[in-house]
A and B are shown apart, each in its own frame.
Chain A
Amino acid sequence: MILYICNELSTYLLIAALMFSMGVFGIIHRQTLIGMLISSELILSGASINFMAFNRFLAPDPVVGQVFTLFIMAIAAAEAAIALSIILAVYRNYKSIDVDDMVELKG
């Protein structure tokens, strides 16, 4: 019965896998640095959903997954801040955030 899938572990694992692979697709396919950063946020969300699902269904101590997810959130916020300031610095130098324009380091 489709109305009771919120009590199945595999539902959450499938959602997390789908978000993770969508994020990987986005990182490969997006043209700009900000688009790639947004896709990496999707990957982090998928990982967090996995942690929370195992925390709810399998963990003997259901605090660990929540604490880990909170730490993932903090690290993701720090990562987004640093990445955005790097993107702003790149934009000032190249007048572009397109990954195909930044080829000075290409061998």
Chain B
Amino acid sequence: MIDNAGLFTAEGLAGLVFLVVIAATLLGAFITIYAKRLIHSVSGLAISFIGVAGIYYYLYSPFVAFMEMLIYVGAVCVTIAFAIMLAEPTSRERTEARGPVTAVMGILVGSVIFWGLASLASNTPWMAAGKRITNGSIGAVGNSLLTTYSMVFELVSVVLIVAIIGSLVLARPGRGR
């Protein structure tokens, strides 16, 4: 336990930044599911992903945090924004919510899942590992990506190229319409 429990110590400021990161994550997720228009929803998703990258940084994984910013905020959110620009009908004003029945159902299912996961997380006596094999640095990640997980690594590249070709094939026909 840290004895010097002030706000203006290094640990205290780090904890404050962590609170900001959590707030960004949860607020972004809230905007994502409650915004009326889809483009606001994507903006909320980007805020939430920035917060998630901060959480990864606090989990001692700066490389994964960087990839989160690069892939999710930089690529996935921008792709979804392009798809909204191509596909959202702007002629009629529309509400994004489906109605009170699905709202009640969604809140019910979501809170049941949250209650289950939260009680599981807080009631399980988690046992820490006795001894670390590696230190979890970028070098260790690269080593195991190219030795232990090299097959999966190659398969992921195959999956990505299939996804590229497949999305081109799917989205290509009917462009003249």
Residues of A within 8 A of B (CB): 1-6, 9-32, 34-35, 37-39, 41-42, 45, 48-49, 52-53, 55-64, 66-67, 69-71, 73-82, 84-89, 91-93, 95-98, 100
Contact = CB atoms under 8 A, between A and B. Distances in A.
Interface of B: 2, 5, 7, 11-12, 14-16, 18-19, 22, 25-26, 29-30, 32-33, 38, 41-42, 45, 48-49, 52, 55-56, 58-61, 63-64, 67-68, 71-72, 75-76, 79-80, 83-84, 86-89, 94-98, 102-103, 105-107, 109-111, 113-114, 117-118, 121-122, 126-136, 140-141, 143-145, 149, 152, 156, 159-160, 162-164, 166-168, 170-171, 173-174, 177
B149 A67 contact: yes
A12 B59 contact: yes
B75 to A, nearest CB: 6
Contacts, number: 261
A40 B108 CA distance: 18
Nearest to B12: A3
Contact of A66 (B38, B118, B141, B160): B141
Given A3-B12, A81-B79, 15 more contacts: A6-B15, A12-B59, A20-B117, A22-B110, A25-B109, A28-B102, A32-B88, A34-B83, A38-B45, A42-B32, A66-B61, A77-B71, A80-B79, A82-B170, A87-B83
Contacts of B110: 21-22, 24-25, 28
B86 A88 contact: yes
User: Dominant SS at the A interface?
Assistant: helix
Contacts of B173: 89
A98 B97 CA distance: 11
A57 B128 contact: yes
The B contact surface, by secondary structure, is helix
Contacts of B49: 45
7 contacts: A4-B15, A17-B114, A31-B95, A38-B80, A48-B52, A60-B133, A78-B162
Contacts of A82: 163, 166-167, 170
| A-B pairs, 7 with minimum CB distance | A3-B15, A62-B136, A17-B117, A78-B163, A13-B121, A85-B167, A28-B106
A49 B144 contact: no
A62 B60 contact: yes
B38 A34 contact: yes
B177 A92 contact: yes
